[in-house]
Amino acid sequence: MASLTREELRDLYRYLLLTRGLEERLERLFKQGQIVGGLYRSLGQEATAVASAFVLDDGDWLSPSIRDMGALLVRGLHPREVLLQYMAREGSLCGGKDNTTHFTIPELGLLGPISPLGTQLCVLNGVALAFRLRGEPRVCMTYQGDGASRTGASHEGLNFAAVQRLPVIVILEHNRWAFATRSEREAAVEDWVDVAAAYGVPAASVDGNDVLAVYDAAREAVERARRGEGMTLIVAETYRMIGHAQHDPQHYVPKEELLEWRGRDPLARFQSYLLESGFESRAALAVVKEGVRRLLDTAVDDALAALMPEPEEALAGTFAGDAAAVPWTRRTHVYPDLAHSAMPS
């Protein structure tokens, strides 16, 4: 059982509220046309991301999936930075060139999600291998959806991390769906924790909607990795309470299923736990809520007040450097007389 101080429990609660509240505001902004690109929420899954990332230390690395806003906030990303990024405003992390959480911040030990599912584990393995070769007791944590975990890249990544005994913790977010495909149709395993046996790694199955259960499993895995004993697979049993993204009305999900999982909401459960166990009073929780509300209000106001980047900004910070300043077009010089003659035969 987690030996967390009252302060730490309060922090976990604050991060859960912050994650839920930030995503609610992002959804509102999306409906107001303020978000550039898609919006993917982690509604119902916040405990998995928050409690696992909470275990990491400075110097560790984390690579989130699209459902891990909570992990980014725990790592130290400010809600204002998230809002500016989603709104593609001036000064945002990608300067308007990419959206959602597609950014890497080495100072925060953050490796951004990589769109072809499963591949980011392979990249993070490289970071973990570097830590091991340098003899540094640093660990890497990453998240995969149930769908992502069935890709070829993911199998290769798991095997490499396992056989190299890399300091990696993979959190498989078994949220029952990969877009509109049920997880029963993604894999034949009944218990997803059995997958670990194929790689010869220790694994734990946890209630992903229970903050303290996730924290305990993640802490054990992180300690094992830091001792040089290799990777762990954690299967977090959870549920995606909203469509894949804002464009998905989730018609394919039976209402009863959603209702059943609504009763296991991680935020409501943790709040009840804090009150019933006597760790917190209602008044104390109200103060935390008010603090989060004010922080988010200010962050939204700041982001809305920020300008869109200047067009020239699109050329800054690119690999092409100065070459990017030349407007690209068709290579007309290859066939200079194209307008007057037929194509060469």
Ligand X SMILES: Cc1ncc(C[n+]2csc(CCOP(=O)(O)OP(=O)(O)O)c2C)c(N)n1
Contacting residues toward Mg ion, per CB under 5 A: 145-146, 175, 178
Cα gap 157→170, rounded to integer Å: 10
Nearer to Mg ion, 145 or 167 (CB): 145
Site string for ligand X, 52-91 (x = CB under 6 A): -------------x-x------------------------
Phi and psi at 118, nearest 5°, equal 95, -25
Q: Which of 219, 240, 264, 269 binds ligand X (CB under 6 A)?
A: 240
Q: Indicate whether 41 belongs to the interface with ligand X (CB under 6 A).
A: no
Quote the least distance from Cβ 312 to ligand X, whole Å.
31
Nearer to Mg ion, 44 or 145 (CB): 145
Q: Indicate whether 117 belongs to the interface with ligand X (CB under 6 A).
A: yes
Quote the least distance from Cβ 329 to ligand X, whole Å.
31
**Total of chain residues touching ligand X, rule CB under 6 A:** 17
Nearer to ligand X, 173 or 210 (CB): 173
Nearer to ligand X, 250 or 272 (CB): 250
Q: Which of 79, 96, 112, 147 binds ligand X (CB under 6 A)?
A: 147
Q: Looking at beta carbons, which residue is closest to Mg ion?
A: 145
Quote the least distance from Cβ 109 to ligand X, whole Å.
22
Q: Indicate whether 44 belongs to the interface with ligand X (CB under 6 A).
A: no
Nearer to ligand X, 97 or 102 (CB): 102
Quote the least distance from Cβ 147 to Mg ion, whole Å.
5
Cα gap 297→154, rounded to integer Å: 39
Among ligand X, Mg ion, none, what does residue 113 contact (CB within 5–8 Å per kind)?
none
Give contact residues for ligand X (rule: CB under 6 A). 65, 67, 115-117, 145-148, 151, 173, 175, 177-179, 240, 244
